[in-house]
Structure 1
Amino acid sequence: MSDTQSGQATSVSADAVTIRPMDRPGDLGWVIQTHGEVYAREYGWDASFEALVATIAADYAIGHDPRREAAWIAELEGRRVGCVFCVAGDTAGTAQLRVLLVDPAARGHALGTRLVDTCLDFARAAGYRRITLWTNDVLTSARRIYQAAGFTLVDEEQHHSFGHDLLGQNWARDL
């Protein structure tokens, strides 16, 4: 999901937009619920997508290494409106960007770009040499953000998930 899709952007000062660590009660629940609701509404995805996000959030909450993994919440005028996670990847020296989301009501404030930049900055500071992500081709606005941040498409594979036939994509970039 990204903030560059058409949405109900309003005029808001830069001071009203913040990116903060995901460290408050309710943050993880918000991530799970909002992903489920937004993706169901916008793409018709079923509850299995919300379950995937719940698994990612639970894995992070239970066992993340704060020196190597972090997550952030974007707030607009004090309300949660976006998120992203940076977690250790499957290979040494590789991080993974996970569950980027900007609530439709908050699109148009470059929050998706700011969240991705925050994730990349953290990954560099944590000593990662590469970062990867998995997405689906229907998420065109998110892909534009990833491409603008220097990610390149590594491979694609068709799959049936979340109640739909989809084209999954793996993207990566060096840090």
Structure 2
Amino acid sequence: MVRELGFMGGDFAGTPLSPSVVHALIEIEKGGMTARELGLQLRLEKSSVSRMLRKLIDSGDVSETPGESDARVKRLSLTTAGERRVSAIHAFARTQVIDALARLKPGEDRTVLNGLRLYTNALGGPAAPPCEAQPIEIVAGYQTGLIARVTDMHARYYARASGFGQRFESVVAGGLAEFCDRLAHPRNTIWTARQGERIVGSIAIDGEDLSADGTDIAHLRWFIVDDELRGGGAGKRLLDTALAFVDAQGFAQTHLWTFSGLHAARRLYEARGFTLAEERPGDQWGKKVLEQRFVRPRP
């Protein structure tokens, strides 16, 4: 890894710069950083940071601005030339990673990601809690980026699990966008599981589409949890939240459609009163599967 990433060569990330200088530029890109803060991030001595910054300022990549409250404190920022250089660094890195991931088999990219995350957390020691330890918050209603993120989770998961492709992704995105236009209806709600600012799960109750003929049916839709959190309880919380809403609204039944073979999800449904009511072949997703309809009566 050290050899392929270029740490042992004279140049790094497609630049004539050392790894520490490239790291410094990426940190400075975030904005508002001081020399002291940069040294802490890079774990370098003050004198080393000072020499590095002097070279970057002289080369025209970095500028210093006196702090508003204390002019002795200098805030670092990229110049226009520095922004161009960092953009090129990011482009080089993206190409390097994309080329490597392209050689992996389907699903192996997730294995690499999880392995790197585990190893990074182990290197950090007890002071670096894993992503899964961060609190999960269940949030009701539309959130910025919801349609794109929920579609992305569905597309990626079902591409691996069921071999679905563009047709499935288009159906999910179109249906979800249409549903979000109807969220003002009091019997329609969507919830997201959030970890910080990131959406990591979703579930929705559509109270209209299956009740159009006068029946009183809640449609459970877009239930998914990100791969990284699957099996950690976030799915149970989302499902219980949605079913509590169903019961409070007094729906006579709750229906959901899924596919044969999703055993973990089926166990969740059956533990909460759903029973298999119908099975039929279907190809609306772009591939033939055995579709299943589960029904939960009002408790």
Task: Please give the range of the TM-score, normalised by the shorter of the 2 chains.
Answer: 0.7 to 0.9
Q: Is the 8 A contact 2:205 2:220 kept in 1?
A: yes
Structure 1 counterpart of 2:182, from 46, 57, 63: 63
Which SS does the other structure have where 2:137 is aligned?
strand
String of CA shifts for 1:78-127, please: whole Å, max 9, x gaps: 42110001002423211010011001011122111111111111111222
Alignment-derived partner of residue 94 in structure 1: 217
Counterpart code for 1:128: F
Counterpart code for 1:51: S
* Cα distance in 2 for residues equivalent to 1:77 and 1:144: 28
Structure 1 counterpart of 2:201, from 73, 79, 82: 82
Structure 1 counterpart of 2:257, from 108, 129, 134: 134
Q: Is the 8 A contact 1:151 1:172 kept in 2?
A: yes
Structure richer in helix, relative to its length:
2
* Cα distance in 2 for residues equivalent to 1:23 and 1:61: 7
* Cα distance in 2 for residues equivalent to 1:66 and 1:122: 14
Q: Is the 8 A contact 1:16 1:78 kept in 2?
A: no
Counterpart code for 2:186: R
* Cα distance in 1 for residues equivalent to 2:160 and 2:141: 25
Q: CA deviation at 1:41?
A: 2.7
- Identical-residue share of aligned pairs (%): 32
* Gap runs ≥5 in structure 2: 1-113, 119-129
Q: Is the 8 A contact 1:67 1:126 kept in 2?
A: no
Which SS does the other structure have where 1:164 is aligned?
coil
Q: CA deviation at 1:39?
A: 1.3
Structure 2 counterpart of 1:169, from 266, 269, 292: 292
* Cα distance in 2 for residues equivalent to 1:108 and 1:151: 20
Which SS does the other structure have where 2:288 is aligned?
strand
Q: Is the 8 A contact 2:132 2:229 kept in 1?
A: no
* Cα distance in 2 for residues equivalent to 1:25 and 1:79: 11
Q: Is the 8 A contact 1:76 1:106 kept in 2?
A: no
* Gap runs ≥5 in structure 1: 1-7
Counterpart code for 1:147: E
Q: Is the 8 A contact 2:256 2:293 kept in 1?
A: yes
* Cα distance in 2 for residues equivalent to 1:76 and 1:141: 22
Which SS does the other structure have where 1:63 is aligned?
coil
TM-score (norm 1): 0.86
**Following superposition of structure 1 onto structure 2, how do residues 99-138 of structure 1 map, counting pairs within 5 Å?**
99-138=222-261
Which SS does the other structure have where 2:251 is aligned?
coil
* Cα distance in 1 for residues equivalent to 2:246 and 2:268: 17
RMSD between superposed Cα atoms in Å: 2.0
More RCO (CA 8 Å, sep 6+):
1
